[in-house]
């Protein structure tokens, strides 16, 4: 890196199609780490840091209040030119997404596709950004730390290792670089240019995002011709970090479709596109299917793509193992284990468990037998619960374990029976606890109602006396 370039990182096959990933203000290129294992299988990835963020010098942007999103877009083009990329796909979060919209509007010949994540055509009142710039110049980025967890994340995600690391990135950000990015956001309004964006565009919103609420994403998707829209439940401003699975799946599908299209298709869209307002409404409960994108043009949903395998695998994984288990596994995912999590979701769950050749009861019987044979008691405990979910009774599970004693060995079956009994005891204890909690809640509610009624009667009596 030279002094006139942002700090950046390259990964993925050198000959693969190029994809540039832009970060959000206050973060570093680490904000894209959850997507990296999946994206690097098919693309040459360049992640870059904003001026004053991560490893980039703050001096890349003017400090006199005149910085613009166009200045940041010029830095991206400089990086692409250095790599010899005439055309590239681009995805950006928040201010990174604004850079992408600017590139699509003013340098459309350079982009093959665009993904805009938790971003906007105009970020609130310019005066608010000027005030924030002044605050950070005076007090540093520590002044922003207290408010970011509730903006970036929902459901306490800031307390996870991943969330805490991103907050530390904010603390480490240079005040001059952060303030200059605020100046750029204050001057930014690309609303009037949205209609002339012609590259294939995906827009992603976090349904709980207070910084750029879903209405901002809908405005972009409704105005950019042919754009697709994904709203992610249970996610705030950094949706790709908090809910990486649906965001990654949507990006893979979008990039696959864009790569499959001839380049000049970006300027010739079908005229019979379905408008967003005619799309069927999604259920409000958080199911694995509710994060499917709204699209004007149909996406390729063949199970032969990585994106569809991942999405189908995650849906089955949640159905079989339960949301709580999968959520814990995702929360524990680190950059070191991310590729393995992606692998088992696509391969084990997305290719094998989704097959039509066997029902899930049968697959559970086979899985239990294989785990018993290899002595994988921890996995066996998990799949005993899964077998119950898939419709096996405790008696049928006992028959599978007894059968395994003949073909896997009595010691293996003995251990399996002990594991199964422990799981059944845990489930029974959980049910007892749930019933006790329910009874306690009911008793409390009844007592409260009785007390309230008594108070009302007593009050009424006094009122009558006073009359």
Cα–Cα distance measured from residue 334 to residue 320, given in angstroms and rounded to the nearest whole number = 23
What pLDDT does residue 191 have?
Answer: 97
215-271 pLDDT, tens digit each: 999 999 999 999 999 999 999 999 999 999 899 989 998 998 766 554 443 333 333
What pLDDT does residue 429 have?
Answer: 86
CA-CA-CA-CA torsion sign (52, 56, 61, 63):
positive
Q: How far is CA 190 from CA 43, 70, 78, in A?
A: 28, 11, 22
DSSP assignment letter at 293: P
Cα–Cα distance measured from residue 8 to residue 110, given in angstroms and rounded to the nearest whole number = 19
Q: How far is CA 438 from CA 433, 434, 449, in A?
A: 8, 6, 16
What pLDDT does residue 396 have?
Answer: 92
347-398 pLDDT, tens digit each: 899 889 988 788 889 999 999 999 999 999 999 999 999 999 888 899 999 9
Cα–Cα distance measured from residue 282 to residue 208, given in angstroms and rounded to the nearest whole number = 16
Question: Which residues are registered as beta bridge partners of 203?
Answer: 116, 229
Cα–Cα distance measured from residue 183 to residue 25, given in angstroms and rounded to the nearest whole number = 12
**Of the candidates 82, 83, 84, 58, which has an alpha carbon nearest to the alpha carbon of residue 71?**
58
Q: With cut-offs at 50, 70 and 90, classify the pLDDT of residue 314.
A: confident
What pLDDT does residue 405 have?
Answer: 94
324 vs 99, which has greater pLDDT? 99
**Of the candidates 110, 115, 112, 87, which has an alpha carbon nearest to the alpha carbon of residue 22?**
115
Query: Helices H, strands E: what count in the chain?
Result: 18, 7
403-437 pLDDT, tens digit each: 999 999 999 999 999 999 999 999 888 877 655 65
Task: Find out whether 400 and 365 touch, Cβ atoms under 8 Å.
Answer: yes
What pLDDT does residue 33 have?
Answer: 94
104-129 pLDDT, tens digit each: 999 999 999 999 999 999 998 999 99
Cα–Cα distance measured from residue 420 to residue 414, given in angstroms and rounded to the nearest whole number = 10
Cα–Cα distance measured from residue 381 to residue 349, given in angstroms and rounded to the nearest whole number = 18
pTM confidence score:
0.62
**Phi and psi dihedrals of 90, rounded to 5?**
-140, 140
Q: With cut-offs at 50, 70 and 90, classify the pLDDT of residue 443.
A: low
**Of the candidates 193, 207, 53, 44, which has an alpha carbon nearest to the alpha carbon of residue 122?**
193
Long-range contacts of 425-434 (CB under 8 A, 24+ apart): 427/385, 427/388
Question: How far, in whole angstroms, is CA 12 from its chain's centroid?
Answer: 21
Mean pLDDT of the chain: 84
Cα–Cα distance measured from residue 99 to residue 23, given in angstroms and rounded to the nearest whole number = 10
Q: With cut-offs at 50, 70 and 90, classify the pLDDT of residue 295.
A: very low
**Of the candidates 104, 137, 141, which has an alpha carbon nearest to the alpha carbon of residue 25?**
141
- In 30-172, alpha helices (H): 36-39, 69-83, 95-106, 126-139, 142-145, 148-152, 161-172
Helices 377-389 and 360-374 cross at an angle (nearest 10°) of: 170
**Of the candidates 168, 192, 220, which has an alpha carbon nearest to the alpha carbon of residue 31?**
168
Rounded-to-5 percentages of helix, strand, coil across the chain? 60, 10, 30
């Amino acid at each position: 890196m030279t002094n006139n370039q942002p700090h950046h990182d390259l990964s993925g096959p050198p000959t693969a199609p190029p994809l540039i990933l832009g970060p959000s203000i206050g973060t570093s290129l680490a904000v894209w780490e959850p997507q990296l294992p999946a994206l690097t299988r098919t693309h040459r990835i360049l992640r870059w840091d904003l001026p004053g963020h991560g490893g980039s010098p703050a001096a890349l942007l003017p400090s006199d209040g005149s910085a613009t999103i166009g200045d940041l877009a010029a830095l991206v083009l400089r990086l692409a030119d250095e790599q010899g990329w005439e055309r590239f796909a681009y995805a950006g979060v928040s201010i990174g997404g604004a850079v992408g919209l600017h590139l699509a509007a003013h340098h459309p010949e350079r982009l093959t596709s665009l993904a805009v994540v938790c971003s906007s055509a105009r970020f609130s009142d310019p005066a608010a950004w000027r005030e924030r710039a002044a605050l950070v110049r005076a007090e540093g980025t520590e002044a922003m730390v207290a408010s970011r967890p509730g903006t970036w994340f929902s459901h306490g995600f800031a307390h996870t290792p991943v969330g805490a690391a991103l907050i530390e990135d904010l603390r480490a950000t240079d005040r001059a670089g952060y303030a200059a990015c605020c100046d750029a956001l204050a001057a930014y309004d690309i609303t009037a240019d949205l209609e002339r964006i012609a590259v294939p565009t995906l827009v992603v919103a976090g349904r709980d995002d207070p910084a750029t609420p879903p209405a901002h994403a809908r405005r972009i998707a409704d105005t950019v011709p042919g754009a697709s829209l994904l709203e992610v439940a249970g996610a705030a401003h950094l949706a790709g970090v908090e809910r990486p699975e649906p965001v990654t799946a949507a990006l893979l599908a979008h990039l696959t479709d864009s790569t499959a299209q001839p380049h000049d298709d970006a300027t010739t869209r079908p005229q019979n596109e379905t408008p967003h307002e005619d799309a069927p409404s999604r259920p409000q409960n958080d199911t694995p299917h509710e994060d499917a994108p709204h699209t004007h043009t149909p996406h390729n949903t063949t199970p032969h793509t990585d994106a569809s395998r991942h999405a189908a695998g995650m849906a089955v994984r949640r159905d079989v193992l339960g949301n709580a288990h999968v959520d814990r596994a995702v929360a524990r995912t680190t950059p070191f284990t991310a590729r393995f999590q992606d692998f088992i979701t696509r391969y084990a769950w997305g290719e094998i468990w989704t097959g039509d050749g066997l029902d899930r009861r049968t697959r559970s019987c086979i899985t239990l037998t294989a785990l018993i044979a290899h002595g994988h008691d921890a996995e066996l405990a998990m799949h005993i619960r899964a077998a119950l979910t898939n419709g096996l009774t405790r008696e049928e599970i006992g028959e599978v374990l007894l059968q395994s004693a003949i073909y896997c060995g009595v010691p293996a079956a003995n251990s399996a029976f002990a594991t199964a009994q422990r799981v059944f005891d845990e489930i029974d204890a959980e049910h007892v606890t749930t019933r006790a909690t329910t009874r306690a809640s009911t008793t409390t509610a009844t007592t409260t109602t009785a007390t309230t009624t008594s108070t009302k009667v007593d009050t009424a009596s006094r009122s009558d006396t006073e009359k």
